[in-house]
Structure 1
Amino acid sequence: MTVAAHRSLTTSAPPVSDLRMRHDELTRRHALELRLSAVTAAGGGISGLVHTVADLTANPIWLIDPQRRVVSRSARVRGSDFRSPDVDRLLEQHGPVDVAGTDPILVAAQPAHGIERRHLLMPVRRDDCLFAWLVLAEVSGRISREEALLVNRAAFHLAGEYAVQRRVARASWNARATLARQLVRGHTRDDDIADAAEYLGVRADADRVLVYIADAIGAAPRHEEDLCARIAQDLGGEVLGTRGREGTILLIEAPDGVAKVAFVHQVKLAMKQLMTSLGEPDATVGVSGVTRASALQRAYRETREVVLCIDRFARASERVIAVDDLGPARLFVANGDLAAVRRYVQDVVGALLDGAPGTADLLRTLQCFFDTGRSVRESSARLGIHENTVRLRLAKVHDLTGLDVASDANDQLSAQTALLVLRLEGHPAIPPFDERHGFTSKDDRGADSA
């Protein structure tokens, strides 16, 4: 080897100190990977990873979800008692951010904009899904290269945990949706349903309210899992969901010790609020009564009949209606020829629909009479009139229409069917469905605040 060649080799080789530094850095990286991997392998989960990261830095760290809620954070770090960082403000002051980037984002301190110290932000993501933000604040010491590496690798392992949990949640949801379908169809062996329910931690024999939400024409399918989660949070009970033939089915467990009629009213109110919050205030929703598990198949058919009644006749704002609101007449109203149903209403109570003085009072009294189980005393109390006035008005109805609603069962059924159509259409003399059980706007406010 020539002298020149030997000199070239010796001058191009890195110094021993640089090699030692690189070796030490790789050793630290390897140790970090082993520690984070050990937490994951031991089932430490998301909080375990965050607490491990917190042990490796003197600065406070937070894991914040896309809804800006703190998922986990440093437990005990000097100076970490100040409020959680405002991720939106940090991102806004930093400027355009490449969420798909592989390096942490360093946001400088900007006291004029409410950012008192530097922060490191690292998106926790996998593919196109952003699970959370990992945020480290410069409080106890200057942010270092080691901390940037720590945040980077922690985000990688956290993304893996989130992805696993998402797959588990999806498998669990699919199993719950299958159980809901089995309960509604009612043709699976009872012991099979019981085994599946026990595995999922669900009571197979619980009484439930079945809610059927009809699909809107041309609208995208609803997210059943989200609907279940929101209703469960509102009502505080177990909710199963699945797809029906032309809509979404929710099975809402009825709590023990709550009156059935009152719980159905709570479900109706919760569904009205939910559909309004989703931007679908005109959604068509049928609600069953509190139903045994063995009768859910029938409840499904009945709620579909309710939906048909609403679609055919409801013109008012009431689009969430219970099976018990309509009664057995819903079968005729849902399936009868539309023109024939309207002629029927005219034939039965047409004499009360011409707008003559007093006819509105007669209609309201007639409806109240049926809503109170044909009780003259309760009707007088609800209407605020004397019992004899109720009797006189029913006699006037008899004179005008020929309906003897006080004693003739056929006339009672005819009148109730006609009034049902008028109620669906929002006739001004007929009170809303909730007044059938004495619920008022005051009751609604109470249920809402509760």
Structure 2
Amino acid sequence: MVGRGAETGENPKRLPNGEAAARIVRAAGSSRDRADLLHAIVVAASEIVGVDRCVMFLRPKNTTKLFRGVAALGALVDGAADGLICGGLADRFSREIIASRGPVVVENAAHDARAIRPTMRQFEVTDVLGVPMIAADEVDGLLFVEQHGSRRSYSDQEQQDLMHFGAVALAVVLQFDAAAELREANARLDRRAATLGRAAVIDRRFTSLSSTTPDADGIAALTARLTEKQCSVATVEGVPVAQASPDGVSALVSRVLAPQITAQPEVAEALAAIAPGRSAIVGANVNCNLLHRSLVAPVTVDDATWGYIAIMESRSRLTLTDQAVVERAARALELELRVDRRIAAAGLGGGVLRTDYDATQLQRTMDEHLGPLPAALVVCRVEPRGTATPSGTGEIAAAFSSHYGTAPLLTHTSVDAVSALVVGLPEGISRTAGCARVADALEAALRELPDPDAHFAAVSTARRSPDDVHHAFEEARQVAHAVTSLCSEVVLVVSASALGVGRLVLGAVDRCALERFVTLELAALTTDGRDPREAELLRTLYVFIESSRSPRLAAQALNVHENTVRYRLRTIAHLTGLDVAGDAQDQLTAQMAMLVLRLQGRLPGYDPLGRPVPVRRTAP
């Protein structure tokens, strides 16, 4: 659309189109500042038409309607381009240019309804020419020119020249932006390459260190040299492990990992927030006399924070290279600690199972390599069964970990292919419940192995010190001996708590002697082809013993009247001579006999582990 201003006369061109285009191309090539190029465009546009004011708008990326001011020339508009927007619903002038894709002239803009009249009055606009800037058949920019303070007409030639110039100018801007993006991409690649180069150097240095001095002192010294900053390593409890300075002699010491510093709430919170494998800056804290910032990375072993490595900002600012060095140093420490623990665990696993060891030295070694021990420990003994090929200790431990939730503290394989697992019990659980949880996890693990029936496992009661752990292994051996010698059914796991004190006797006496003992004491209740009445008496005796020898509790478990229990106990006393209701010696005798019957599978209503099973009724 051409405004009526085109009919009021022509104005001579002040700058030829070709020269204007050449000028902005030179501007694009001589400067990398986009603002310089945009300013050159509005100057050339104003000179093409011979006016003193020009404003240029471009459509930002990822928008469809609004155009933003990018450059302005002339009185009142200099420096105002950044705050200008056009192309909105109320801006009929700009929308007409976009829709017509051609030049539009608005005379007396302050009174023309197509323009935003308050804006026109603010900038004292009279007769204005607007042209689209088109690229790839899209209007991506707008140019407006105007003679400030006087009326002005625009010839058809001026309108076409300005529109053609706008298209050239937009192409130059787009080319300039593409070149700038390419330079930035190349710069990012260069920075990335430099970073990767530094990372490769850092990695080679730490890898080389691993084959020479793989200890905390060596890692701290290398970290200090690479970062040129003071380095410290400490355990999570604040025990100092290593200190190093870039020159090897500086007296300046990093204090961020000292116990009195880590006890401060702000510092403790900052350390706890650092994710494994990452690092973070811990700021200065005048309240605790921490005068320097530090870059700290956690050292994590077996999903627990063992300690921290830190460098102190003293000689220069902390950098991304410093971050890469500290995080690589933390990984180096983690690797060395894992190796140390594996080596130590291999020795400890055998140490806690032997009798010829120094308990004090073993306790010191366990504390050093395993850290604080759990409140209670349980030993699992897994023996091969029959002629099948058993799984290895590592495979058993891995399967156990998946069900128990944590890995065994120690593992060991003896020369006779017996696997031993030393397991920690979690806090807040009773020892009896903890042992039951270990037994359940071990049974589930054995059932996952290629040949579950190739193993039998015994679980000790809960223990604490190295001496106790050795005795727990012996206890598990007694349980295994008792069960394998007496039990005719295939049982995967038996815990010592399931046998009670009877494990001491069962593990030391052979099968024949135990069977003679049961026959002697309970002959009247264990006849061949026993009738339902005998089975009922045996179940009553077993439940009475398991119910703390309480007739009331036994009656509740059997769902009978308490007097019925008392009557059956008197019947048992009449048949066997065992006064289980009142004589402690007879109670112990009955308890041992019932344990043997249960393990042999001869106790009606219960399996060898004491779990209830349906009672098989015998036809009369």
TM-score, normalised relative to structure 2: 0.42
Note if contact 1:405-1:411 (Cα within 8 Å) is conserved in structure 2.
Answer: yes
Query: Gaps spanning 5+ residues in structure 2: where?
Result: 1-192, 208-333, 614-620
Specify the alignment match of 1:405 in structure 2. 580
Q: CA deviation at 1:317?
A: 3.7
Note if contact 1:237-1:254 (Cα within 8 Å) is conserved in structure 2.
Answer: no
Note if contact 1:194-1:204 (Cα within 8 Å) is conserved in structure 2.
Answer: no
Specify the alignment match of 2:459 in structure 1. 287
Asked whether 1:300 is paired with 2:473, we answer yes
Note if contact 1:210-1:288 (Cα within 8 Å) is conserved in structure 2.
Answer: yes
Q: Give the alignment partner of residue 562 of structure 2, picking from 383, 387, 392.
A: 387
Say if 1:440 and 1:41 are closer, same or farther in 2 by CA, change over 3 A: farther
Specify the alignment match of 1:341 in structure 2. 514
Residues in 2 aligned to 1:440 and 1:337: alpha-carbon distance in whole angstroms: 27
Say if 1:211 and 1:345 are closer, same or farther in 2 by CA, change over 3 A: same
What letter corresponds to residue 263 of structure 1 in structure 2?
G
1:406 is paired with a residue whose SS is: coil
What letter corresponds to residue 204 of structure 2 in structure 1?
A
Asked whether 1:242 is paired with 2:412, we answer yes
Q: CA deviation at 1:262?
A: 1.4
Specify the alignment match of 1:151 in structure 2. none
1:211 is paired with a residue whose SS is: strand
TM-score, normalised relative to structure 1: 0.57
Say if 1:167 and 1:315 are closer, same or farther in 2 by CA, change over 3 A: farther
Asked whether 1:269 is paired with 2:440, we answer yes
Aligned pairs (5 A) from 1:140-179: 172-179=341-348
Specify the alignment match of 1:216 in structure 2. 385
Say if 1:196 and 1:440 are closer, same or farther in 2 by CA, change over 3 A: farther
Residues in 2 aligned to 1:208 and 1:334: alpha-carbon distance in whole angstroms: 22
Residues in 2 aligned to 1:180 and 1:349: alpha-carbon distance in whole angstroms: 44
Specify the alignment match of 2:242 in structure 1. none
After superposing the two structures, state which structure 1 stretch, 230-239 or 251-260, moved more. 230-239
1:258 is paired with a residue whose SS is: coil
Note if contact 2:345-2:411 (Cα within 8 Å) is conserved in structure 1.
Answer: yes
Note if contact 1:321-1:433 (Cα within 8 Å) is conserved in structure 2.
Answer: no
Specify the alignment match of 1:41 in structure 2. 204
| Structure with more helix by fraction | 1
1:185 is paired with a residue whose SS is: coil
Note if contact 1:284-1:310 (Cα within 8 Å) is conserved in structure 2.
Answer: no
2:462 is paired with a residue whose SS is: strand
Note if contact 1:237-1:255 (Cα within 8 Å) is conserved in structure 2.
Answer: no
Q: CA deviation at 1:36?
A: 8.0
Write out per-residue CA displacement over residues 259-291 of structure 1, whole angstroms, 9 at most, x where no aligned residue: 221121111111111111113433221111111
CA RMSD of aligned residues (A): 3.3
Note if contact 1:224-1:241 (Cα within 8 Å) is conserved in structure 2.
Answer: yes
Residues in 2 aligned to 1:187 and 1:204: alpha-carbon distance in whole angstroms: 22
1:349 is paired with a residue whose SS is: helix
Residues in 1 aligned to 2:435 and 2:586: alpha-carbon distance in whole angstroms: 29
Residues in 1 aligned to 2:459 and 2:337: alpha-carbon distance in whole angstroms: 31
Percent identity reads: 28
Which one scores higher on RCO, CA 8 angstroms, separation ≥ 6?
A: 1
1:251 is paired with a residue whose SS is: strand
Q: CA deviation at 1:421?
A: 1.4
Q: CA deviation at 1:363?
A: 0.7
Specify the alignment match of 2:349 in structure 1. 180
Give 1 or 2 for the bigger CA radius of gyration.
Answer: 2
Q: Give the alignment partner of residue 426 of structure 2, picking from 255, 259, 262.
A: 255
Residues in 2 aligned to 1:255 and 1:347: alpha-carbon distance in whole angstroms: 44
Specify the alignment match of 1:233 in structure 2. 402
The total of aligned residue pairs comes to 291
Residues in 1 aligned to 2:510 and 2:394: alpha-carbon distance in whole angstroms: 37
1:292 is paired with a residue whose SS is: coil
Q: Give the alignment partner of residue 327 of structure 1, picking from 500, 513, 528.
A: 500
After superposing the two structures, state which structure 1 stretch, 269-278 or 221-230, moved more. 221-230
Residues in 2 aligned to 1:203 and 1:222: alpha-carbon distance in whole angstroms: 31
